[in-house]
Structures are given as structure tokens and as C-alpha cells.
Chain A
């Protein structure tokens, strides 16, 4: 572990929170020993283009169900692009094009018959910059369920409470649900966005550098949250912060210039990387 030298010191207090958790990470307690590890998402031979520029080259990996998978790598390496392929958010970008297969529960999500809104309902997303709508806290969380047809006030109330509890925000905001979400602090806003994603009851949650705009304390809370979320959901997280990847993820993929250099168990990647480039990156020699 001595390889994570200088970068560790920057967020040293966070690291100290974690050691007690690390043993359980390698063998998640809820997964019975011997049962086959279920693949939630499989990416196969994915090429991705922004117009004429190719951003991903022949990426292939498998995300396990009820686990946390982290994508790491320097800026512009394609990790966010891959993440946004998983719920087809890249459809919003003009001229973007994916070639290859991305399977969710063995169904290719790039098939013509796929309903994209339904896909995004199943694969929720939390963004780098917290983006609560300029509405009340309640309306923010209820936004998704209302769209998908939940009209009943009582079940909405229950869902909002459940989601806010799931995101660890309930105790802080339960007395001001009708206040504007914009008045929350940065960390609270990000947790609200997570609650908003949870309210749709997705199967997978994608997180695009969810802590990059937060201070260490807020980051710690989100990380704890991510750790607890995998009980119920499959989490894929993109992060710049390698300590974060080491702390929260079960599996980890290292990207460089649009290529998936190495993918495997986090522990393996951080202790005995197979590829020289991975080692260089996580030891801080470049990037």
C-alpha cells in the first residue's frame, strides 16, 4: 500500500475512516459464497465517436450486480464517456455514435426497440456538479416518480421520505421539505441529487465524479452513502481521486486515451497492477 504516497496525504482524514470497512469490501456479506457472480452490465467491443473523433477504443468489461465499480484515469481518457454510454446520455450530444454492445441484463441497450426513457429509469445518474432543479426539496425528489405516474399524495410522501433516508439526508431536511433545494449546501445538494435518482427506484446508479466539487467532510458522507447503496443497487462511479476509488469500489477500471488499460478487482489493481501504465498512474508518476 506504500505506493499511494503523496496523494494520500491530501485527504488523509478520509483514509483513516476506512480501514475498518476494507475487509468486508473484498467479500460482500450479502452475497452467498458459491453463488455465481451475476453480471449486471456487460460492455463488449465498444467504440465511441464524437463526430469524427474516436473517444473509446474496443472497450469491454463486466459490471457485477450489487457492487461498486470505479472508472479511473486522467482527464479526457474516456471514463465519463463510457459511463454516459451506460444509460445512453450521450444520445443528447449531437454527432455522438456508439458501435458495439452494451448489455443490461443481457439485453443490448443500443437496440432500436429499447425505450430510452425506460432505460434511464432503470439506470439512474448522479452528475459531477450537483444540479437540483430550482424547485422545493420535495418536488425535486418527487420529480421522477411524478413523471412515471405516481400521483397519489401518500405514496409520494412515503417515497420521498424513503429516498431521502436512503441518501442520508432525511434528518437534515425533514422540517423544510417545501424550501427551495437551491438553499442547501453543496454536499446536501449532491445527496439530494442521489435521493432524486433513488426515488425513481433504479437498478443501477451511475455517478460521474460525484465528489469533485465537495469538501472532504461532504465527500466522506457521500462515500459512506455509496458504500451502503450497493446493498440495493449496482453502482458505477467515475472518479479522479484514486484514494476514493480504492476506498469505495470493489472493481476498478483504468482508462488511458480511450482505451481500457486494465480492469479487475480494486485490491489487485492497487496492489499488483499487471500493466506498467496503471502502476505509473496510481503511483502518481503521471496523470
Chain B
């Protein structure tokens, strides 16, 4: 008895249990992170795989074509006789315009047979989501096509041609007509500026007349371009295919509505891998369609990265300057301590508060004033007086400045006193010491602050919703028109995109994989940004290693 109590005492004293507790803390954290990543990847990455299309014949002789996306035990079907209950399958049947809903539950008991014939076709459309069925050429299109080829390869060729046409249309819309619109708007603003000046001398009248002429010329150019555009549209729409649905009905589809056709059941696995990679690439590099539930997320990726970049440019100088003052110049006392406490607390303020401030101060006060002083000709349309990427970046800079200050201060205080004395002892002024010795040594610490700030900024959504993020931005903030970087433009953001697609879209169920996929991309973007900074920091650490004797 005595011996056992000694063993127990040793056990408690030795802290074995404590070691186990700490280790399990690490294990649980790791598990949670790994579980989160696995969940996101499983749910997101699967959607690009060309899955098998099934043709299900029901007991009622009705057929259903679709992709099985899930199954469950029917609630309340478990009885004493049937312990395992009855199962039902969830099929994505597509053709939302025809069936009203994209998904359908089918009870296992109702199924007579399941097959997966090779000629089942998956059609990706510009509107109304995917369609499933069997495809054939409409009579009038079939007449114009070479008869030697099979129907399927003809359809594929036609879809390719339609896609090329669509690219030309988009190019015409975006580049040519876009540029004309841009120049017309510039001429209009120039005229407005003349009006605002209010001078009535002949030179002004002459300039005004020239602008009017220019606008008229542009208008004519515009009309000719739209004509060309219309012709292209007509050409794209002339080919028609028939899609035979599971119900046996045939639907006519103009080819310019079709993005791609595929027969997953006829593909071998290499073709499937190619299709997978292609889909993934289209997702990352493409523009969103259908209220963001389909297509790609490139504008959101671009907006996120650019915003983080601008935020960095804004936050670094201010944060580092403030930290240098607090640590190096300010007389350490109650006041500085108070400032430090305030800065630390600033980091804990809910981000939406910063959003409200950004809206009130940056957008309305600052932006509104800029509009009145610099862009009076475009009023009442706001230029800077509305949310934009600049204001969003500045708001986030404000949000993250405490992080940078704290990290920089830590970096500065970690520079050995010996270096300061060594430099000052050589006749350097305080400024020279800071500039040549202390700042280089503190750079890794400063970069740590930057990494923390970027990680925080990339993930914030709430303040952005008030200061410039939109569901769909018509143009990227960076383009080929002067001054190239349009800081006043609204932008898209991955975090907001997740919220929008997942909870604000008309087709929430179909958008689920998009949500996971966008989340995955957001994580990747944050990780990549941080990795870059970490690599930079490690290189600097090596260069400014302070102890190696």
C-alpha cells in the first residue's frame, strides 16, 4: 500500500500526465487542421472529374439520366423487419430549364435497372446549368455537313467552331467596343470639363466642336462594330443540335449556347485525366458565369492578390515608422506604454468596425472630396466616392497596422545593444545607426509582421463588403488603359465569393463544390503569399545572422 502510493506520487511528480496532455493538444490541433483540409479537398476537387453518367429505368418504365451524387437511408424507414432500412439515391439530372430542379431523389426500391451507355452526353451550357441526354444534329444543320463523318465527331467539330466564334465575339466586345466606349467616355468628360470651366472664348468653342466631331466619328465606328458583332452572333447561332432528354423529348439547342459536350462513359482514364486538368484550369483562369455558380474565379483571385499587395504597400511604411518612433525615439514612459496598449487593443477591434470607418471616412469623406476636387466632370457619378480597391486596401491596412507595429517593435528590441553602441561609438548619429545597422537586423522581424498582416488581410471579408467588394466586377482593376492601375474600381474577392456563391446564389445546391473549391484556392493563395514572405525572411536571416561564433 505504501509502495503504491509512492509510485502514484512519483507519477504525479514526474509530470508524465502533463507530457501526455501537451502532446495530445498538439495531436488534436494537427488532426483538426488536416481534417479541415481533407474535407475541403474531398468536396471541392471531385467536381471536375468527369463522372459516369447513368441511365436509370424505374419500375414505372420512366427513365432518368444523370449522375449519382449521394445516397442515404430514408428517414423513418428503419423498422423491426428491415433493420437496415431502405436506401435512396440522389441524382443530378440537370436540365433545370426543363425539369424545374436539378436534383432528384430516387428510392432504391423503385429502380428496375441501371445502365451506363456510351452515347450519354454531358452538355455544359452558358445558361441553366448542365444538361444530360443524347445529342444529334438538327435536320437543317445536318444538311450542311459532310455526311461521311459520324454524328458525334460532327457535333464536336461544330462546338469547337462555335467556341472559336464566341472568342471572336468576346474579343470584339471587350477590346474593340470597349476601347471605343472608353474613348467616347473620355471625350464626354473632356467636354464636361470645358463646360465646368465656363469660358466662352473661341478657342474653347473650337475645342468643344472638335470633341463633338470626335465623338460622332467614334459613334459611327461603334455602329459598324456592332453590326459586325451582330453578324457574328447570327453565324454562331445558325447551327442547332437536338438533345434527346431522358423523357424522350427532344430539345433544340443553338450551338452558341453550348460551351462543351462530352461523353464521360466513352472516355478512358487518360482522357478523363486530361478533361479533369482542363476543367481545373478553366476554373482557375476563367470568368464566372450564371451568377457566379459556374465558370471560373480568376477575377476573384486577381482581386484578392492585388488587394493584399496594395494593403502591404500601405501598411509597411506606416507600421514600421510608427514602431521605430515608439521603440527608438519616444521617451519610454507612461504615455508610450499607453500608446502601446492602445495599439495592441486596436488589433482586437472587430473588423466590421474598421469597415464602417472605412466607409464613412475613406469612401464618403475622402473619396467624396477627391471627386469634387479632381473629377468634377464625372459627377454625379462617383469616381473615388464609392467603394473601390484603394479604399478596401487602406481599410485593411488600418486593420493590420497593429500587427506590423508589434512585430516590428519586437524585431527592433531584439537587435543587440552591442550593435547600437558599436555604431554610435564609431561616430554614427542615431539616424545612421538605425538606417544602417538596426533596420537591416530587424528586417526578419518586420517581415514576420508582414506575414501575419497578409494572412489576416487575405481572410477578411466583412470590412470589404462595405468598402468595395462586389459580386461581379465588370473589369479587373488592372488593364491596358491609362493609368493601367484603376484604384477606384470595385473588385472581386475570394472570401466574399465564397459567401456569395454559397449563400446568395439561385442554385445553392449545385454551387456547393464551387464553395469548397473557392475555399481551397483562398487557402492556396494565402499559403503562397506567406511562403514568398517566409522565403524572403529566411534569406535575410541568413544574411543578417547575428551570432555564429
Q: How far is the CB of B340 from chain A (nearest CB, A)?
A: 17
Which residues A157-214 have CB closer than 8 A to chain B? 180, 182-186, 189, 193, 196-197, 200
Q: Do the beta carbons of B545 and A133 come within 8 Å of each other?
A: no
Residues of A with C-beta under 8 A to B544: 134
Checking B420, B429, B548 against A92 with a beta-carbon cut-off of 8 angstroms, the contacting residue is: B420
B437 adjacent to A133 (CB under 8 Å): yes
A22: interface (CB < 8 Å): no
A228 CB-CB contact with B under 8 Å: no
Shortest distance in angstroms between A18's beta carbon and chain B's nearest beta carbon?
28
* A131 x B418 contact (CB < 8 A): yes
Q: Is the CB of B547 within 8 A of A143?
A: no
A127 to B421, CA, bound (A): 8
Kindly provide the distance from the CB of B545 to the nearest chain A CB, expressed in whole angstroms: 6
Give min CB distance, A210 to chain B, whole Å. 13
- CB atoms of A120 and B545 under 8 A apart: no
Interface residues of B in 533-548 (CB under 8 A from A): 543-548
Contacting pair A121 B549 (CB below 8 A): no
Once bound together, how far apart are the Cα atoms of A131 and B419, in whole Å? 6
B428 touches A134 (CB 8 A): no
B333 nearest in chain A by CB position: A94
Contact A134 B441, CB 8 Å, known A92-B420, A127-B418: yes
Q: What's the nearest-Cβ distance from chain B to residue A215, in Å?
A: 12
Contact A134 B427, CB 8 Å, known A92-B420, A182-B549: no
**A131 in contact with B549 (CB, 8 Å):** no
Interface centre among A129, A131, A189, A193 (most CB of B within 10 A): A131
Query: Which residues of the partner chain A approach B416 to less than 8 Å between Cβ atoms?
Result: 131
B436 to chain A, nearest CB (A): 7
- Does A89 interact with chain B (Cβ within 8 Å)? yes
- Contact pattern, A 132-149, Cβ under 8 Å of B = 1, otherwise 0: 111000000001100110
Q: What A residues does B422 contact at CB under 8 A?
A: 127, 131-133, 193, 196
- Give the chain A neighbours of B425 by CB distance below 8 A: 87, 89, 120, 124-125, 127, 197
B216 within 8 A of A: no
Which of B418, B421, B427, B545 contacts A182, CB < 8 Å?
Answer: B545
Q: Are A94 and B332 CB-contacts (below 8 A) given A127-B418, A131-B421? A: yes
Question: B426 contacts the other chain (Cβ, under 8 Å)?
Answer: yes
Interface residues on A, range: 20 to 34
Q: Give complex CA distance A185, B416 in Å.
A: 19
Tell whether A89 pairs with B421 under 8 Å between CB atoms, given A124-B426, A200-B427. yes
In the complex, which residues of chain A have a beta carbon less than 8 angstroms from the beta carbon of B545? Answer: 134, 180, 182
Residue of B nearest to A139 (CB): B436
The one of A94, A118, A133, A200 that contacts B419, using a Cβ cutoff of 8 Å: A133
| A89 to B428 Cα, complex, angstroms | 12
Nearest CB of chain A from residue B440's CB, rounded to whole Å: 7
Q: Which residues of B contact A131 (CB under 8 A)?
A: 416, 418-419, 421-422
Most central of B425, B426, B436 by chain A CB within 10 Å? B425
- Asked if B421 contacts A117 (CB within 8 A), the reply is no
* Complex alpha-carbon distance, A184 and B548, angstroms: 9
Contact A182 B548 (CB under 8 A): yes
Whole-angstrom distance from the CB of B442 to the nearest CB of chain A?
Answer: 11
Q: Is B549 within 8 A of A186, CB to CB? A: yes
Given A127-B418, A127-B421, CB of A118 within 8 Å of CB of B426: no
- Contact partners of A182 in chain B: CB under 8 A: 545-549
A14, chain B: closest CB distance, angstroms: 22
Chain A's closest residue to B437 (CB) is A133
Q: Point out the residue from A129, A133, A183 that lies within 8 Å of B423, measured CB to CB.
A: A133
Q: Flag whether B205 is at the interface (Cβ < 8 A).
A: no
Q: Inside 8 A of B331's CB, which chain A residues have their CB?
A: 94
Q: How far is the CB of B425 from chain A (nearest CB, A)?
A: 4
In the complex, which residues of chain A have a beta carbon less than 8 angstroms from the beta carbon of B548?
180, 182-183
- Give chain A nearest CB distance to B95 CB in angstroms: 68
| Top-5 shortest CB links A-B | A121-B427, A131-B418, A125-B425, A144-B426, A131-B422
10 contacts between A and B (CB under 8 A): A89-B425, A94-B332, A121-B427, A134-B441, A134-B546, A143-B426, A144-B428, A147-B428, A147-B432, A147-B436
Give chain A's interface residues, CB within 8 Å of chain B. 87, 89, 92, 94, 117-118, 120-121, 124-125, 127, 129, 131-134, 143-144, 147-148, 180, 182-186, 189, 193, 196-197, 200
Known: A134-B546, A180-B548, A197-B426. 20 other contacts (CB 8 A): A94-B331, A120-B424, A120-B427, A121-B426, A124-B426, A125-B425, A131-B419, A131-B422, A132-B422, A133-B422, A143-B436, A144-B427, A147-B427, A147-B436, A180-B545, A182-B549, A185-B549, A193-B422, A197-B425, A200-B426
